[in-house]
Amino acid sequence: MKIQISEDRKNLNGIEYLQKRVTGELPEPSMNVTVPIKITLVEAGRVLMEAIGGGKHLNPANTIHGGFIATVMDSVMAASIRTTLKAGEDLTTIEINVKYLRPALPETKLFAEGRLVNVSRRIGTAEGTLKNDAGELLAFATISCMIFR
C-alpha cells in the first residue's frame, strides 16, 4: 500500500513534526476544524491534547457525541506512536477500542493523554485517557496503527 506523505513529514521526524504543530509553525490537519483538538505537550512516547466540544458535536442526549471522543482519542494515541517515526515514515489507524465511562458535557475542556505501549517494524500500539476539567476519567482507549516505513 502506498500513501501520500506530506512534504512536512518527509523532512521531519515524528517529534519534530508534532512540536512544530504545537508552536504553530505547521498548520493543524483539516480534521481539527471539525473536531477542535490542540496538542499541548509532545515527548517521546507521550502526547497531551486538549479539545472542547460544542453545539455542533452533540448527540440526542445533549452530551458530546461518542464519535467526537473517539476522534480525540485516535488523534492523541496515534500521535504518541508518531513520536517514534523517522522522517518520511507515516502511520494509519487499523483498530481502536474506546470505553466510555462518563458523558462529556458541551463547552467543557477535555484533556487527552496518549502513551506508547509498543512499536515494532510494522505495528504501533498505544493507550489513552480522556478527562474533564474536574479530573474525572471520561474514557480510556487502545489503538493499533500500521506503520509505513
The CATH number of the domain where 33 resides is what? 3.10.129.10
pLDDT tens, position by position, 103-116: 999 999 999 999 99
**7 pLDDT more than 80:** no
Confidence bin at 8 (pLDDT 50/70/90): low
The Cα 66–Cα 64 span in angstroms is 6
* pLDDT computed for residue 53 by the predictor: 93
Averaged pLDDT for residues 71-91: 97
**Torsion (CA) 74, 78, 79, 80 in degrees, nearest 10:** 110
Domain contains 48: yes
Domain contains 2: no
Domain contains 78: yes
Domain contains 31: yes
What is the count of structural domains for the chain? 1
Averaged pLDDT for residues 126-131: 98
Domain contains 1: no
Q: Which domain holds residue 93?
A: 7-148
**10 pLDDT more than 90:** no
**48 pLDDT more than 80:** yes
* pLDDT computed for residue 28 by the predictor: 87
Q: Nearest CA to 17 among 93, 82, 81? A: 82
Higher local confidence (pLDDT), 28 or 42: 42
* pLDDT computed for residue 33 by the predictor: 85
SS3 string of the chain?
CCCCCCHHHHHCCHHHHHHHHHHCCCCCCCHHHHCCEEEEEEECCEEEEEEECCHHHECCCCCECHHHHHHHHHHHHHHHHHCCCCCCCEEEEEEEEEEECCCCCCCCEEEEEEEEEEECCCEEEEEEEEEECCCCEEEEEEEEEEEEC
**4 pLDDT more than 70:** no
**78 pLDDT more than 90:** yes
What rounded mean pLDDT belongs to the chain?
Answer: 94
Weakest mean pLDDT among 22-26, 92-96, 110-114: 22-26
